[in-house]
């Protein structure tokens, strides 16, 4: 079966964004987590659905044309038209058969890819063959327990520092013990910034719609710099455990660092040094390294640095008073 990439290439299905995993790229116009932006997959699904409808209309047109050719061929045979015309019609019928077979195969390929994309978009881990309607039925069937498992993948809202300051993180501000409170807080945020979201639509009146947003496990970036994009929704599995700051706050004794395993501390320190060394070698600045911007993987052994500031903001050393003590940017 044709994979999605070759299908898009051959059939000229337009990519809404360049679907590439986020990685650190030095540059003057970076903001957020180094070009990170939620592609949300649904734009691709909509494009493919449009393409599928177009292909089906073309197939219907060719099938009608083939039927007319067959009728014309039968009429010629019945009235004994000259052999030249009969051969021409038969040749066109053969070409139409081949073309229709090709169109049917393309439609089948698109339908299969759409099914996979819908399954991934809904992030149902039971398999890629589940349709969107099946997913919604399962949400209702499994109820609150399933929804709580989904909502635990906290979303990160990164706001353009040139537009809005001091409101940069959902999972720190809106952490709650109950599912309803969590979803309500997300919906309030979406209501505030929904007009500035690019190439994405959500029915904010339905909590299920907000939950589906949080299920997306792909991190992608746009073709062009998004310096003019005020809002970016960023989701990663590392947020399941929150940040290093969250982890430290929840320790039984916050002042006793020796309650952590030596191997874990050594491994995390090694990762931090390796990351800072990589950033230094590649000319990448962060501008705000702190425990709340370092996320922890599910097993606790991997760290993820988030919330990169625009490089233009790191040209001057930032010095400010923070909680009555002198605070200097760690970079």
Q: Quick check: 200 and 258 in contact, CB under 8 A?
A: no
- State the pLDDT at residue 76: 61
Element (H, E) at 51: helix 42-78
Residue ranges per domain, the chain?
238-331
Q: What is the mean predicted confidence (pLDDT) over 194-200?
A: 40
Indicate the pairing of strand 319-322 with strand 303-305: unpaired
**CA-closest candidate to residue 124, choices 216, 26, 15:** 216
CA–CA separation, 198 and 211 (whole Å): 19
Pick the CATH number of 238-331 from 3.50.50.60, 1.10.510.10, 3.90.1170.50, 2.50.20.10: 1.10.510.10
Residue 15 dihedral angles phi and psi, to the nearest 5°: -75, 130
Give the torsion sign (CA, 156, 204, 225, 15).
positive
Question: pLDDT digit string (tens) for 211-262?
Answer: 334 333 332 222 233 333 333 344 444 545 566 776 777 666 666 656 667 7
Taking the CB of residue 52, how many other CB atoms lie within 10 A of it?
A: 18
Q: Which residues make beta-bridge pairs with 231?
A: 159
Q: Is 305 helix (H, G, I), strand (E, B) or coil?
A: strand
In the block, tokens 């790191």 appear at 314
Residue 263: pLDDT band (50, 70, 90) is confident
Taking the model in full, what pTM does it have?
0.31
> The tokens of 316 are what?
């001057």
Q: Is 184 helix (H, G, I), strand (E, B) or coil?
A: helix
Tell me the residue length of the chain.
331
Residue predicted with more confidence, 272 or 137: 272
Task: Give how far the C-alpha of residue 74 lies from the chain's centroid of Cα atoms, to the nearest Å.
Answer: 54
């Amino acid at each position: 079966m044709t994979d999605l990439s070759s299908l898009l290439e051959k059939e000229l299905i337009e990519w809404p964004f360049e679907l590439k995993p986020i990685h650190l790229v030095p540059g003057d116009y970076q903001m957020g987590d180094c070009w990170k932006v939620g592609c949300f997959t649904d734009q691709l699904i909509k494009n493919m659905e449009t393409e599928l409808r177009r292909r089906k209309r073309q197939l219907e047109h060719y099938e009608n044309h083939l039927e007319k050719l067959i009728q014309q061929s039968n009429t010629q045979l019945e009235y004994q038209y000259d052999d030249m015309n009969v051969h021409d019609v038969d040749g066109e019928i053969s070409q139409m058969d081949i073309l229709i077979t090709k169109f049917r195969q393309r439609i089948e390929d698109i339908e299969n890819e759409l099914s996979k994309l819908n399954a991934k978009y809904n992030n149902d881990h039971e398999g890629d063959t589940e349709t969107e309607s099946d997913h919604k039925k399962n949400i209702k069937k499994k109820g609150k327990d399933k929804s709580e498992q989904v909502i635990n993948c906290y979303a990160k809202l990164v706001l353009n520092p040139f537009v809005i300051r001091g409101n940069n993180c959902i999972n720190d501000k809106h952490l709650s013990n109950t599912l309803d409170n969590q979803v309500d807080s997300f919906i309030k945020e979406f209501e505030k910034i929904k007009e500035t979201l690019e190439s994405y639509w959500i029915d904010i009146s339905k909590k299920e719609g907000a939950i589906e947003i949080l299920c997306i496990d792909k991190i992608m970036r746009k073709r062009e710099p998004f310096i003019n994009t005020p809002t970016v929704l960023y989701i990663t599995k590392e947020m399941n455990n929150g940040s290093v700051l969250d982890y430290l706050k929840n320790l039984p004794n916050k002042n006793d660092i020796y309650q952590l395993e030596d191997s874990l501390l050594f491994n995390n320190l090694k990762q931090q040094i390796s990351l800072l060394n990589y950033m230094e070698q590649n000319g990448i600045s962060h501008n705000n390294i702190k425990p709340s911007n370092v996320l922890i993987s599910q097993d606790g052994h991997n760290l993820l640095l988030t919330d990169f500031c625009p490089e233009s903001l790191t040209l001057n050393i930032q010095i400010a008073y923070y909680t009555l003590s002198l605070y200097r940017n760690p970079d």
